[in-house]
Chain A
Amino acid sequence: MTVLQRAIFGLLVCVSLATYPALADSKGENAEKFVAKLGETALSMVTNKDLVGDARREEFRKLLQANFDMAWIGQFVLGKHWRRASPDQRETYLKLFEESVVFTYTNQFDEYSGQTFEVTGNTEADRFTMVKSKIVDPANPESSVLVDWRLIEDNGNFKIVDVVIEGISMGITQRNEYSAVIDSNGGKIDSLLVKMEEILENLRKRA
């Protein structure tokens, strides 16, 4: 081996070592693409002025079910109470939970005013992949909102299990809130279900 050959060999080793973590990162990159695509789809849905009422809610529900692991999120949010819930309560709860998510978010579609969505990076956290993104308001570019997405990979498919807005986890917030209702009603899960039904009724009226 000449000096030159050795140098080239060394260079190759370096390059292959450098690319190795890049290959391992492709999970993170795929996760970024997944979130970017979701952002695009959601934005086109929000800006589609012809999509209103029930049709809009059905579209959103499809998007939700395809991209979010609703059963996972629902169980996480009910937390320690899930174990005690009867099969009937679980079924009612998961239905109410999905319904309230659908109404809460579709009701806010009309507040959209030209914000853009941008994926900015990812980190691996145990079995989760966190995708970082920001929502930029062109009218006020300094106050962009940071949104982190917690993804879990299941048989090669990504599903979102939490959304963290400026450090506030939607899953944890909802979990704290639901457990406060159950705890203040002597641990009765039905008390939460009644309350959820009531709020859902209000959201339907606001829709």
Chain B
Amino acid sequence: MHRAAGVFLVLFLLAGCASAPQDAAEGPQIYDPIEPVNRVFFAMNDAVDTMVLRPTAFVYKTAVPDPIQDMVRNFLLWLRSPVVIANSLLQGDTDNAGNATRQFFVNGVTAGLIDWGNGLGWGYRDEDFGQTLGVHGVAGGPYLVIPILGPSNGRDLVGRVVDRFFDPLTYIVSGPGARNAITIARGTGEAVDFRARNYDSINDLRASSVDYYARVRSIYLQRRDAEISNGQPPKGVQAADGSQEFEKFEPSDRPRSVTGELPANTN
């Protein structure tokens, strides 16, 4: 417990001192001070994906019957719901908390394996402590690639640690050995499930990329912003993705051009 508190403190300081120098002109706020290190971890994770995760996900999605795959997914989602409920409440979103609670109790009858709301939808979004911090105005901090776990940032890494305290399993399971085993099993399950469901998309994403690292970084940061705002553009910003880049952009072959001369042979 003391060690966990220590880790928490360090991470919190890390997120705190991460008032990123924000280059207003360029895109979502990309603050990547340890990019060389991140790129090394990213390459390692990519190798793990190619050698382990991708083949596993392929076998999983081809050999395991669909109803079993659904059960695995339902179970993983069910395990997550206490964290969703806690964070929804911390964000003041009682609707989301209520819907997640309903799902937790109804699906709990069959240990989370069968989704009784299928087709109707429980109508809740995934929430985590990284999002809760974001809702309360904490900036993302430095972009980080965590070995095995993948893309993150200062804020979301703190969120990951805190979310473990919201998870009943942390308290139910006794002994660090069993706890770690469960964390690893669950993490592996989530990774295989995610990779299997997005099998082709991720392969395409990688194959069509000129800089896979930069692409994933951009996607991660944009996606987290969208999750924090629950898909609603922040007040005062009309762009759906919350970015103002499009508002400012003027192509050079249009009036109000800021880029100067006409482009050659564009049409």
Residues of A that sit less than 8 Å from B by CB: 71-72, 74-76, 79-80, 82-83, 87-88, 90-91, 94, 100, 103-104, 107-108, 111, 123-126, 128, 130, 132, 141-142, 146, 148, 150, 161-162, 164, 166-169, 171-173, 175-181, 184, 192, 195-196, 198-199, 202-203, 206
Query: Nearest-CB distance from B247 to chain A (Å)?
Result: 5
Q: Is the C-beta of B227 less than 8 angstroms from some C-beta in chain A?
A: yes
CA distance in complex: A80, B118 (Å): 47
Query: Nearest-CB distance from A143 to chain B (Å)?
Result: 9
Given contacts A75-B252, A75-B259, A161-B246, contact A195 B266 (CB under 8 A): no
Query: Nearest-CB distance from B142 to chain A (Å)?
Result: 16
Nearest first, the 3 A-B pairs at minimum CB distance are A167-B226, A180-B214, A87-B264
A167 touches B214 (CB 8 A): no
CA distance in complex: A198, B215 (Å): 17
Which residues of chain A have C-beta atoms less than 8 A from B118's C-beta?
142
Query: Nearest-CB distance from A176 to chain B (Å)?
Result: 4
User: Which of B207, B209, B226, B240 has the largest count of A CB atoms less than 10 A from its CB?
Assistant: B240
Which residues of chain B have C-beta atoms less than 8 A from A71's C-beta?
251, 253, 263, 266-267
Which residues of chain A have C-beta atoms less than 8 A from B267's C-beta?
71
Q: Which residue of B lies closest to A89 (CB)?
A: B264
Q: Is the C-beta of B241 less than 8 angstroms from some C-beta in chain A?
A: yes
Q: Which residue of B lies closest to A154 (CB)?
A: B254
Q: Is the C-beta of B28 less than 8 angstroms from some C-beta in chain A?
A: yes
Q: Is the C-beta of B243 less than 8 angstroms from some C-beta in chain A?
A: yes
Which residues of chain B have C-beta atoms less than 8 A from A107's C-beta?
204, 208
Residues of B that sit less than 8 Å from A by CB: 25-28, 30, 118-119, 121, 200-201, 204, 207-211, 213-215, 217-219, 222-223, 225-227, 229, 231, 238-243, 245-247, 249, 251-254, 259-260, 263-267
Which residues of chain A have C-beta atoms less than 8 A from B208's C-beta?
100, 103-104, 107, 199, 203
A177 touches B240 (CB 8 A): no
A104 touches B211 (CB 8 A): no
CA distance in complex: A177, B206 (Å): 12
Contact partner of A168 among B119, B222, B253, CB < 8 A? B222
CA distance in complex: A75, B264 (Å): 12
Which residues of chain A have C-beta atoms less than 8 A from B217's C-beta?
176
Which residues of chain B have C-beta atoms less than 8 A from A146's C-beta?
231
CA distance in complex: A204, B200 (Å): 17
A126 touches B263 (CB 8 A): no
Which residues of chain A have C-beta atoms less than 8 A from B119's C-beta?
141-142
Given contacts A71-B253, A107-B204, A167-B222, contact A172 B241 (CB under 8 A): yes
Query: Nearest-CB distance from B139 to chain A (Å)?
Result: 17
CA distance in complex: A184, B210 (Å): 12
B265 touches A91 (CB 8 A): yes
Query: Nearest-CB distance from B205 to chain A (Å)?
Result: 9
Given contacts A75-B251, A123-B238, A179-B26, contact A199 B210 (CB under 8 A): yes
Which residues of chain A have C-beta atoms less than 8 A from B207's C-beta?
199, 202-203, 206
Given contacts A142-B118, A168-B223, A173-B218, contact A150 B240 (CB under 8 A): yes
B215 touches A173 (CB 8 A): yes
A108 touches B222 (CB 8 A): no
A72 touches B251 (CB 8 A): yes
Contact partner of B264 among A91, A100, A203, CB < 8 A? A91
B251 touches A123 (CB 8 A): no
A76 touches B222 (CB 8 A): no
Which residues of chain A have C-beta atoms less than 8 A from B259's C-beta?
75, 82-83
**Given contact pairs A75-B252, A168-B222, a sample of 4 additional A-B residue pairs in the complex whose CB atoms are under 8 Å apart:** A76-B246, A90-B263, A171-B246, A181-B214
Which residues of chain B have C-beta atoms less than 8 A from A177's C-beta?
209-211, 214-215, 218
Query: Nearest-CB distance from B158 to chain A (Å)?
Result: 22
Which residues of chain A have C-beta atoms less than 8 A from B253's C-beta?
71
Q: Which residue of B lies closest to A197 (CB)?
A: B210
B251 touches A173 (CB 8 A): no
Query: Nearest-CB distance from A190 to chain B (Å)?
Result: 13
CA distance in complex: A100, B22 (Å): 31
Query: Nearest-CB distance from A110 to chain B (Å)?
Result: 9
B247 touches A126 (CB 8 A): yes
A125 touches B238 (CB 8 A): yes
A90 touches B211 (CB 8 A): no
A172 touches B28 (CB 8 A): yes
What would 8 A/B residue contacts be, using CB atoms closer than 8 Å? A82-B259, A90-B265, A108-B200, A125-B238, A125-B247, A130-B239, A172-B218, A176-B214
